[in-house]
Amino acid sequence: MAESAEPASGGNTESKPNLIGRDFSLENILGENPDDVQHPKLNGVSATGWDEESTEKAPAEGYCVECEDQPAHILCETCKDVYCEVCFAAQHRKGTRKRHATSPLEKRPEKKAKVADESQNNDAMESKEAKNVEEDDGSDEEWEQITPSVATSSLETLGAVPAVGSSVGDWFVERSKYIPMRLTFGERKYLRLLEAALIVSEYTDKIDTIGFGLSKAKRIVQQIRELCAIMSGLLLSADYKQGQELFQHRDFQANAEFYQDVFELGRRHKIMNPEKMRTTYGKLIYLLQDSQNAEVKELLGFDCVKPIKTVYSVLDAHDALDALRDDLVTVATKEIYAEGRNRREVQRDIRSKEQAIEKLSVKYQRDGLSQEQVRQCLYSIGDNHAFLRANRDPCERMIEYLKEYFHPTQAKDPKTSLAIRSGRSGARLTHDHSKQYAYVIQSLTLWREILHDMFRLWSLAEQDLLSENIPYRLRDTGQGLNRVQAAPKTSRLMQTILQKAQRSVGTWIGSSVIHMGDHNVPNALMFIDKYTQIYRILLPICNTLSQIHKLMAVPALRSYIDDEFGSVENLYKDILGDFFRHGFDGSGADNFFDAGSCIDGRLTSAWNWCNTLEKKRYFHVFLLTGFVGFDGSW
């Protein structure tokens, strides 16, 4: 018995590794004992602290050392690194770095190709030529000539919408590449289904944890199980018969198109309506991020991610892009507002807009492209204009208030002085009046440019988040466990937008550092979420200021304002002056190293000001105008 028991034990020992390697299948992962299943290549590999999935690797040869996804064009001879034009401008804008010697690298890739094919003698000749090229001095004046060319690249940002009656050219064509299609009535049913599934899902609670002994292999198994659970529930709720077949055969690939469409319309809805899906969009993106894992994708047999359905893609598929070049499109998509206008003018604009939509839908309908689809495209562009009015226009209004009530260089009295000093009233920066004025107008200008291109930024952010080639790593950033992931495409466009803002204001006060993929802004999702909150800060302030004149029509409230503030103008100066001083004073960080004057720190300071509003002497005025908070409800 003892002899027979030993081989049996030995047989079990020999078979277990084979079971792990051979039986790493969807059937076993979704079976009753998933803990016995591990990825064969990662078996025995334990998680290494917070950086479980390390992504440190050298950039590809010939690519920028900073963003790592653009070809390098400039060699900094002082830093001994190669950069693309955008990253070089961002890293060498001030101080002694501005005087770093540079050399162009346009011919370098061709030479490297020749080196691989030619003999050692030719290799030496090529190296000598390269050395001669590097010895040519690139002065700062030469770089100033290079800088404007960045704006004419593929990342060029579009200006304001063409005026009604003017020639539109390709403005709407370029803009439509990043404008998602409005959801149809049928799609909204699946949106409710997706949201319901995400609300009850605990995907991130189970996956984004690092427990004792949790290996990378087991984490992949957990990802697949949770992903399949959500997908099974979605299909069963939408089609009971197909759901039963899925539970029986576990063939997710047979319903690949359904899953792709449902996940895509959820992403599309969120981009069009940033105030929606505030708790579920993050789960959706992280779920899709894990589905891009090679092992997960191989077991599922399909890709869960499909491109966002945009106005451009719909019209381009039916050769109807000329609809966006028609000058009538400005009338068909314009934003109609009622402030300061009588009812007759508003009704006239509504009729002209409806007529323009009908003319364009009849003119550009095609086989496979109905009039209703053309209308949907035009409505989607109109939705984008509505987004800009609610999100971007408050920045414009605050800039107008700044110019109206405050002088750029000299304060007329202490009430209109914007000077701040570090250590006083929570300020982290020291600026005199003129410097703070410039700092505020620069920040508002930058926010305006970011929100003007928000849909494009969002598109690139999703490309970074859902990229197969950019893995993330779990880290404790000081604000919980986060997925830290580089966002090269988003960073590059942000650098372009920053340069545009810098050119528009002339000079730049403070740091131009853009946090992305670090402990401050872990990934592109956090970045997008951060800047979609701007209107939550500025719009309530603008609404309050616009309602003050109505308060003055009530005698008792007029008496209160006159007694407390002296006049309406003084009230405006109190509110605006306090916001422009302490909403941009570098405060808000939880330590002495973050926040400050960097690009993201400016927004952190504004949020910190919002948290102290109830302590201000003018807080009752906010309440009297209907203010209830900065959470989007007013």
Maximum average pLDDT range among 101-110, 287-296, 611-620:
611-620
Q: Residue 239 pLDDT > 50, yes or no?
A: yes
For residue 211, the model assigns a pLDDT of: 66
pTM for the full predicted model? 0.78
| Token reading at 190 | 């699946």
- More confident call, 115 vs 620: 620
pLDDT-based confidence at residue 296 (cuts at 50, 70, 90): confident
Helix or strand (DSSP H, E) at 473: strand 473-476
3-state secondary structure of 237: helix
> What average pLDDT does range 412-416 have in this prediction?
85
For residue 128, the model assigns a pLDDT of: 42
Cβ(465)–Cβ(285) under 8 Å?
yes
For residue 159, the model assigns a pLDDT of: 64
- More confident call, 72 vs 49: 72
Q: Residue 617 pLDDT > 80, yes or no?
A: yes
> Lowest mean pLDDT: which of 262-266, 359-363, 475-479, 547-551?
475-479
> Lowest mean pLDDT: which of 497-501, 509-513, 568-572?
509-513
- Mean pLDDT estimate for the chain: 80
Q: Residue 22 pLDDT > 90, yes or no?
A: no
Distance (Å, whole) CA 452 – CA 449: 5
For residue 44, the model assigns a pLDDT of: 53
> What average pLDDT does range 198-225 have in this prediction?
74
3-state SS track over 329-352: HHHHHCCCCCCCCCHHHHHHHHHH
Each residue's pLDDT tens digit, 132-173 = 333 333 333 222 332 333 333 345 566 667 777 667 788 899
For residue 165, the model assigns a pLDDT of: 65
For residue 300, the model assigns a pLDDT of: 77
Each residue's pLDDT tens digit, 344-385 = 999 999 999 999 999 999 999 989 999 999 999 999 999 999
pLDDT-based confidence at residue 418 (cuts at 50, 70, 90): very high
> What average pLDDT does range 122-126 have in this prediction?
43
Buried/exposed 501-528: b ≥16 CB within 10 Å, e otherwise: bbeeeeebbbebbbbbbeebbbbbbbbb
Nearest to 527 by CA among 496, 486, 497, 499: 486
DSSP alpha helix (H) spans, 368-506: 371-391, 393-405, 433-452, 454-465, 488-505
